[in-house]
Amino acid sequence: MKLLLLHCTESGQKVLARLPQIGYRLPSTVRTMELKCTGRINEELLLSSLEDGFDAVLVVGCHRENCRYLDGNLRAERRVQRIARMLADAGVMDKKVDMLLVGPDEGAKLAARIAAFLAPGAEPAAGAETASVPAQSGGKK
Amino acid sequence: MIVAEQKPIKDIVAMIPEASSLLVVGCDTCVTVCMAGGIKEVNALTSVLRMARKDIARIEGTSVERQCDREFLEELEESVQAADAVLSMACGAGVQMLSDYFEGKIVLPALNTLFMGSNEEAGYWMERCLGCGDCVLDLTGGICPRTRCSKGLMNGPCGGSEGGKCEVDPENLECGWNLIYNRLKALNRLDSMMEIRPPQNWSTSHDGGPRRLIREDVKL
């Protein structure tokens, strides 16, 4: 199970940075990509990530009413829900998108969600490093 | 503009026949503006279909300036001929034109065409014109009674208008004739409402088959 974490520079980045403090290292099958705000997320980014090999995308943004850009997290949530619904309705069962709203001190919540995404037995691997991937490119603009 | 929305994805997935290649074609005009069938939507739908229909070896997407215009379809010749089926993300006019132009190809609609309207705010479109063929906007302050009045009345408002709202949907729908009254009042043209208008002559609307417009002055 390859998982992509799309996170914002605020709560998303901060909660990731604090994961080692709770003794959690990201598994090697998890990649991260930082965006200024999750409101930057669009359909193409989510879908091209899935098409390019990720089995799941988890968008990690700030709690409601805590977005630095007012409502970027809520717009992202609606887009994620739409894509999740599209995939389910299309019968695509082996790909998944979801969103998690967190605060900087909610590392345990993020770790639990990551564990839930990963296949049984794929518990967080000790010592694995967080890697970044470049932004996906779409088709014709 | 023409406003449309994407069909339920499960309907789209189900309508595509067994094929080895599929071409998804968007339209860069109306359906791009209403975010239903432009290149962004083509790319998104193409991605989902590639994941949902793994039995189809090749699924590609593109778009043209206007699918309802024959001159813009020529550029699709090579890609359409290379595909077993074509999924159009244009309005109904575009789908039909594509089907006519590439006779013999299976052309499928990915959208439901809804109405002629305007973008009121982000994510909100509203019908503005029925295309009735007999415009009366000069008499009604630029607000169409046939479209904006739920009953299409030519003399209004009716008894279902209360507080400026229509009884059909009192929470969300403005009474068209209340809007007309307020507009004419602001224009100091309320006298226009005093004239009793005859019922709509619907013979200029969808009547007697598809409507046609022929202009000798622009014929070549």
Query: Looking at the domain assignment, is residue A131 inside a domain?
Result: no
Number of domains in chain B: 2
Cα of B100 to nearest chain A Cα, Å: 26
Same domain (yes/no): B6, B69: yes
Cross-chain Cβ contact B62/A140 below 8 Å: yes
| Helix H or strand E segment including B83 | none
Task: Decide if B211 is inside a domain.
Answer: no
Which band of pLDDT confidence, cut at 50, 70 and 90, is reported for residue A118?
confident
Q: Which helix (H) or strand (E) holds B61?
A: strand B58-64
> pTM (2 decimals)?
0.88
Which residue numbers of B have CB closer than 8 Å to A's CBs? Answer: 8-10, 13, 39-40, 42-44, 46-52, 61-63
**B8, B10, B47 member nearest A51 (Cβ):** B47
* pLDDT score, position A120: 57
- The answer to whether residues B53 and B14 belong to one domain is yes
Number of A/B CB contacts below 8 angstroms equals 53
Asked if residue A130 belongs to a domain, the reply is: no
Question: Could you tell me the two tokens for B104?
Answer: 């013999």
Question: How far A95 CA lies from chain B's nearest CA (Å)?
Answer: 9
Q: Of B114, B141, B174, which residue is a domain's last?
A: B114
Whether A89 has its CB under 8 Å from any CB of chain B: the answer is yes
* B207 inside domain: no
Is A108 inside any structural domain? yes
CATH label of the domain that carries residue A109: 3.40.50
pLDDT band at A126 (very low <50, low <70, confident <90, very high): very low
Q: Chain A partners of B89 at a C-beta cutoff of 8 Å?
A: none
Instruction: Find the closest chain B residue to A84 by CA distance.
Output: B48
Check the CA dihedral B112-B114-B117-B121 and report its sign. negative
Residue where a domain stops, chosen among B80, B114, B148: B114
Is residue B220 one of the residues assigned to a domain?
no
User: For A5-59, what is each residue's pLDDT tens digit?
Assistant: 999 999 999 999 999 999 999 999 999 999 999 999 999 999 999 999 999 999 9
Is the domain of B63 the same as that of B37?
yes
> Does pLDDT of A127 surpass 60?
no
- Bridge partners (DSSP) of residue B59 are B22
Q: Smallest CA–CA separation between A87 and chain B, in Å?
A: 7
Lowest mean per-residue pLDDT among A14-18, A40-44, A100-104, A121-125: A121-125
CA-based nearest residue in chain A for residue B49: A90
Residue A102 has pLDDT above 90, yes or no: yes
Residue A68 maps to a domain: yes
Domain match, B7 and B55 both: yes
Query: How many whole angstroms separate alpha carbon B178 and alpha carbon B149?
Result: 9
pLDDT of residue A117: 87
Same domain, yes or no: B13 and B102: yes
- Across the interface, do B43 and A42 touch by the CB < 8 Å criterion? no
- Dihedral sign computed on CA atoms, order B79, A135, A57, A100: negative
pLDDT at B201: 86
Cα–Cα distance between B168 and B149 in angstroms, integer?
10
What residue ranges in B92-174 does DSSP mark as E strands? 106-109, 111-121, 124-129, 161-162, 165-166
Q: B178 lies in which domain range?
A: 132-197
Which of B58, B81, B114 terminates a domain? The answer is: B114
Taking contacts as CB-CB distances below 8 angstroms, the residues of chain A near B9 are 86, 89-90
CATH code of the domain containing B6: 3.40.50.2300
Asked if B154 and B183 sit in the same domain, the reply is yes
- Measured in angstroms, the CA of A78 and the nearest CA of chain B are apart by 12
Is the domain of B6 the same as that of B107? Answer: yes
A125 part of a folded domain: no
The reply to whether B156 and B185 lie within a common domain is yes
- 10-residue mean pLDDT profile of chain B (220 residues): values are 97 94 98 97 97 96 97 96 97 98 97 97 95 95 96 95 97 97 97 91 89 93
Domain count, chain A: 1
| Number of DSSP helices (H) and strands (E) in chain A, helices first | 4, 5
User: What is the chain B residue with the closest CA to A93?
Assistant: B52
| Residue range of the domain that includes A79 | 3-118
Q: Is A123 a member of any domain?
A: no
In a domain, A77, yes or no: yes
Question: Does the beta-carbon distance from A51 to B8 stay under 8 Å?
Answer: no
ipTM score: 0.83
Identify whether residues B27 and B70 lie together within a single domain. yes
Residue A132 in domain: no
The two structure tokens encoding residue B126: 């509203």
In this complex, do A89 and B8 lie within 8 Å of one another by their Cβ atoms? yes
Q: How far is CA A9 from the centre of its chain?
A: 13
